[in-house]
Amino acid sequence: MLFNVIHWNVDPEIFSLGPLSIRYYGLCFAIGFMLGYYILEKMFKSENISGEWLEKLFMYVVVATIVGARFGHVFFYGWDYYSQHPGEILKVWQGGLASHGGAIGIVIAIIIFSKKVSKKSPIWVLDRLVVPVALAAFFIRMGNLMNSEIYGHATDLPWGFVFERNKETLAKHPTQIYEALCYLFTFGVVFLTYWKTKAKDRQGLIFGIFLIGIFLSRFFVEFVKENQEAWEEGMTFNMGQLLSVPFILAGVYFVYKGLTKKI
């Protein structure tokens, strides 16, 4: 046996300055976006793309990720509560973000960005943007680990985590790590595909690979993850899985189109 379970009791707060607290989740979020900006800057320079585009795209994506993820949580998971407490919707600092909502927000932002700034196809932009986004997704899931949230069912596997801050006594699947590793692998695939092949000339191919890698991973990890809401109990597929299916199908479509379309 490699481990005899892991007792996890990390304080999610690094330090506080009066009413302001610095948390690992926010730090992971910031690192993901900073590294993403650096990677996208290198990609844009290699294609002689305007640096002004990068700055505007970064702002579009940051705002779209936060707003989309928040509204995704509100509408997909917590509408019963938030419909009765609309004033709580804007309190993002209290937690409650959904990755599927963030993905939808980014797609909408890219459509607007393409019309107003780049004048290129949204898929052209997404083929490049998803490379750093996959890395950011890795860091966000590691932030979830530091928050002791979004973990799995009880397990007797030797790498199970006992999330003591949540008063857990049984080892649970560390599904944050499962997803993070899948996202890191997806990042490696799309990163190498962009730099080592001519895939960026096959519009939609890299975007499709990203969608399949991220959301197929999410679909399967959900089988060992605890449901986020009580009303998901008894469902054959939970909300996270149902929301992943359209993205997976879209990924298959874009990969097929990218591989079969003549250049």
Q: What pLDDT is recorded for position 138?
A: 97
pLDDT value at 123 more than 70: yes
> Cα angle vertex 72, ends 189, 131, to 5°?
15
- Mean model confidence pLDDT for the chain: 91
- Of 101-105, 141-145, 187-191, the one with minimum mean pLDDT is 101-105
Confidence of residue 3 (pLDDT cuts 50, 70, 90): low
Bigger pLDDT: 243 vs 79: 243
CB 118 within 8 A of CB 53: yes
Q: What pLDDT is recorded for position 110?
A: 94
Give a yes or no: residue 141 inside a domain.
yes
Bigger pLDDT: 258 vs 76: 258
Q: What pLDDT is recorded for position 87?
A: 82
Q: What pLDDT is recorded for position 21?
A: 82
Beta-bridge mates of residue 21? 16
Q: What is the mean pLDDT of residues 104-124?
A: 92
* Tally of domains in the chain: 1
Give a yes or no: residue 95 inside a domain.
yes
Give a yes or no: residue 82 inside a domain.
yes
CA contacts within 13 A on the Cβ side of 122: 11
Residue among 160, 178, 159, 174 nearest 217 (CA): 178
Separation between Cα atoms, residue 17 and residue 37, nearest integer Å: 28
pTM of the model: 0.88
pLDDT tens-digit series, residues 80-97: 888 887 888 877 766 677
Give a yes or no: residue 1 inside a domain.
no
Q: What is the mean pLDDT of residues 131-147?
A: 96
* Parent domain of 181: 6-260
pLDDT tens-digit series, residues 204-221: 999 999 999 999 999 999
Q: What is the mean pLDDT of residues 230-254?
A: 91
CA contacts within 13 A on the Cβ side of 179: 32
Q: What is the mean pLDDT of residues 248-253?
A: 98
First to last CA, the chain: 52
Bigger pLDDT: 97 vs 8: 8
Give a yes or no: residue 116 inside a domain.
yes
Tokens 């049984």 label which residue?
A: 170
Q: What pLDDT is recorded for position 93?
A: 64
